[in-house]
A and B are shown apart, each in its own frame.
Chain A
């Protein structure tokens, strides 16, 4: 045990991670920044970043933010009550339930999204079942609604887990003390449970909002390639137009939004740490 406590060994242990971080995070990031701020001849330019103001691109960015916010909100509304239910249960039961929520994640994300496409199609599984019981068909495939559904379905576990974690870490005694001092359930929730779970909520929001903002696979499959998100625009720059400079420039714009989100999280994390 003593071995691992010494600084050098800890550094040694972390070295694969550091190498990983440099090769797969820092180097690509540096390349994105380089391409984003240069033109075809390698000279400095801001054009690639400014191109986000093109009406089509700007609309795609706005649409991405809009859909990501809605998806995050829906995820939160589903995840929070669920987190409360899970954390109030006995340990043996909730471990099983949590596994149930993680289980689908063992399957490839693209396959699961592709499955939704088949389920939602005009003559797909869901509509066939609805037809059998004489209910009207639902036609949300290739609409923003289907994209939101795909986002919520895919990213919900990322909201549930941190919220569940922070809720289950709340000391039972604090809640009992509140009750003792005459607080009713609403007051206990508003003044004890909710504030103490804020760090979980914030990291849940980050973990849903960022992938939802940047996705291009979900919008391609469930949006019929008709509804372009900023992720699609960037993907097309790399695969169709073969303009790495513009693709990187637009990625930098997207990164700004991700950075804002992460700064918010960092601030709350600090406060959460101070509280805890």
Chain B
């Protein structure tokens, strides 16, 4: 028995050795580029075209939440060259020295990004030194008109017992608390322990009504008529309409979060010039358009926006007029704030 085990272990390690040596040789002539992006957040053909045009070998990995991304990069920032985190996380990465300033001269296409998005980015990246916006949007409620026959205009509906087992919540700490804090009239960036306590208790009270805490699966479950209501990013919502015409997206009247995901180059990047080429490529209007058409997340690329058909361009979901909505962006709340939220989130998740 033991002998057999040793033999199989030897075989396994031999396998691992060959696998490792296989990674050694570079395919392209332009060196390598390690990209870390959200899941399903790019038209995969764009990656292939980038490789063809530049000869750079792209190693593309995906993450599901900002927090997972951070935990990986904080260990070793050289693991990836170019990453696409959200606003508050970029602020945290700047604060903790995980990213490096960009040389925009090497990213000439960055002028295609609209002035207003740079202005909004100032909130987390003063002077726009570290980041170039990639996508932006709001968070709202996606609902199925055949299952919900009342007007949906408030986060309160996610606490309505009528829809027990029909509600999908985001399995992401800031998004979940944003809903609960705003519903109580607090700021989504609150660091007041009393307010967070109220929000926590509400989320715990809501838990029996929740079908599941999911992230990317909200989209598929809503398309498949699995749930009546789900908290979702606006970009996903546009995609779901194509697949299931019974779905509708609303931004609740109490307000919501507006977010920007931007490209940053890591502090330890070993392929800075390739990373610049990547960001530059993403900012090219035709590429931004292809990505928009594929992932349906709003692009901040005004040159690309002009290429989009008029109906989509005027859509209040794809390109909402933020002056008409009550929105706020997440801020990095410091280590103390992080701890407050994480502890509260663990309380919610382990309650029942």
A→B interface (CB under 8 Å): 13-14, 16-17, 19-20, 56-57, 59-60, 121-123, 142, 224-228, 232-233, 236, 238-242
Contacts and interface: CB of A to CB of B under 8 A. Distances in A.
Contacts of B9: 16-17, 20
A260 B221 CA distance: 41
Interface in B310-352: 339, 342, 345-347, 349-352
Contact of A239 (B12, B71, B225, B349): B71
A224 B212 contact: yes
Interface of B: 6, 9-10, 12-14, 65, 67-68, 70-71, 74, 171, 173, 207, 210-214, 221, 224-226, 339, 342, 345-347, 349-352
B6 A14 contact: yes
Given A20-B9, A239-B68, A225 B349 contact: yes
B67 A60 contact: no
9 contacts: A14-B6, A16-B14, A17-B9, A56-B351, A123-B225, A123-B226, A224-B210, A224-B213, A240-B71
B164 to A, nearest CB: 12
B214 A225 contact: yes
A228 B349 contact: yes
Given A14-B6, A19-B13, A59 B350 contact: yes
Contacts of A239: 65, 67-68, 71
B71 A238 contact: yes
Contacts of B211: 142, 224
Contact of B346 (A13, A227, A236, A238): A236
Question: Which of A60, A226, A227 lies at the interface centre, i.e. has the most chain B CB atoms within 10 A of its CB?
Answer: A226
Contacts of A56: 346-347, 350-351
Given A14-B6, A17-B6, 13 more contacts: A16-B10, A19-B13, A20-B9, A56-B346, A57-B350, A121-B221, A121-B224, A123-B226, A224-B211, A225-B171, A226-B352, A239-B68, A240-B342
Nearest to B348: A56
B226 A122 contact: yes
Contacts of A233: 346, 350
A196 B352 CA distance: 44
Contacts of B225: 123
Nearest to A20: B13
A58 to B, nearest CB: 9
B215 to A, nearest CB: 9
Question: Which of B9, B12, B74, B346 lies at the interface centre, i.e. has the most chain A CB atoms within 10 A of its CB?
Answer: B346
A123 B350 contact: no
A257 B68 CA distance: 28
Nearest to B17: A16
Contact of A242 (B14, B74, B213): B74
Contacts of B349: 225-226, 228, 232, 236
A240 B173 contact: yes
